[in-house]
């Protein structure tokens, strides 16, 4: 399903900027800066009104960018994101209604999990790739190692976000079950900071 493709594509970028963008103009500037500095990927969160229009504009103006939507809390958000051109979507939590709708439309969607029960319920619906959120507050690398251990034979993988920074991203990326790690620090990073992340991700 689309979700497996998502895991493979995000694994190529490894570090995923989680963007909270307030308006179209500054949002596009941030996306251009990411592209110019070798990290052409982002989760643009639906925490702001501008998210949908930025995704639509990125799709037109920066087709090389692998742009997705974050903070997808309901079916309406899900459709708005993919109609705008999002190539993937994620959520902080596990909402079975959203997961089922994503599967029905073959949308690349990863729900958020941080407990074994959520993993099992989402797995049962067909999910194989999860956002692990809030990664650091939930116990970080140690917690992810512990909760994923019983499911190793299922071949599931994770994208941790929440407290991930340039300093600890490598610890997560060293785990075999981690495909990519995301964080909001790339909202503020300058070109050099973005290139540092791209370097850590092995993109340059
Ligand atoms: C997310 O939506 O993934 C988180 O808000 C990212 O958390 P961070 O600000 O700690 O990177």
In the chain, domain spans: 2-199
- Cα–ligand 1 centroid distance for 61 (angstroms): 26
Alpha-carbon separation of residue 56 from 52, 71, 81, 106, 188 (angstroms): 6, 17, 9, 20, 22
Answer for the pair 40, 64: CB distance below 8 angstroms, yes or no: yes
Q: Ligand 1 pocket test: pick from 73, 184, 193 the residue with the most ligand atoms within 8 Å of its Cβ.
A: 184
Q: What is the pTM of this model?
A: 0.96
- C-alpha count within 13 angstroms, C-beta hemisphere, residue 138: 21
What letter does residue 4 receive in the DSSP assignment?
H
Q: What is the second-level CATH architecture of the domain 2-199? A: Alpha-Beta Barrel (3.20)
d(CA 24, CA 53): 7
Kindly list the protein residues whose Cβ atom lies closer than 6 A to any atom of ligand 1: 18, 45, 70, 92, 133, 161-164, 182-184
d(CA 111, CA 95): 7
Residues 6+ apart with CB under 8 A from 107: 2, 78, 82, 88, 89, 101
pLDDT tens over the chain, length 204 residues: 577 799 999 999 999 999 999 999 999 999 999 999 999 999 999 999 999 999 999 999 999 999 999 999 999 999 999 999 999 999 999 999 999 999 999 999 999 999 999 999 999 999 999 999 999 999 999 999 999 999 999 999 999 999 999 999 999 999 999 999 999 999 999 999 999 999 999 999
Of ligand 1's listed atoms, the one at least distance from the Cα of 183 is 11
Q: What are phi and psi of 158, to 5 degrees?
A: -135, 155
Alpha-carbon separation of residue 74 from 55, 117, 166 (angstroms): 18, 20, 31
């Amino acid at each position: 399903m689309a979700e497996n493709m998502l895991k493979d594509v995000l694994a190529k970028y490894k570090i995923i900027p989680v963007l909270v963008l307030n308006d179209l103009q500054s949002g596009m500037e941030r996306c251009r800066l990411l592209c110019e500095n070798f990290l052409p990927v982002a989760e643009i969160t639906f925490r702001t009104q501008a998210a949908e229009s930025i995704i639509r504009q990125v799709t037109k103006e920066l087709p090389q960018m692998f742009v997705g939507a974050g903070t997808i809390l309901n079916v309406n958000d899900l459709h708005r994101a993919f109609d705008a051109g999002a190539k993937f979507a994620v959520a902080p939590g596990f909402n079975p209604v959203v997961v089922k709708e994503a599967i029905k439309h073959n949308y690349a969607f990863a729900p958020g999990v941080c407990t074994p029960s959520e993993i099992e319920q989402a797995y049962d619906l067909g999910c194989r790739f999860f956002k692990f959120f809030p990664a650091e507050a939930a116990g970080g690398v140690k917690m992810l190692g512990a909760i994923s251990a019983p499911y190793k034979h299922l071949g599931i993988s994770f994208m941790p976000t929440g407290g991930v920074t340039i300093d600890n991203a490598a610890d997560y990326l060293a785990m075999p079950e981690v495909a990519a790690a995301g964080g909001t620090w790339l909202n503020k990073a300058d070109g050099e900071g973005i290139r540092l992340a791209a370097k850590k991700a092995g993109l340059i």
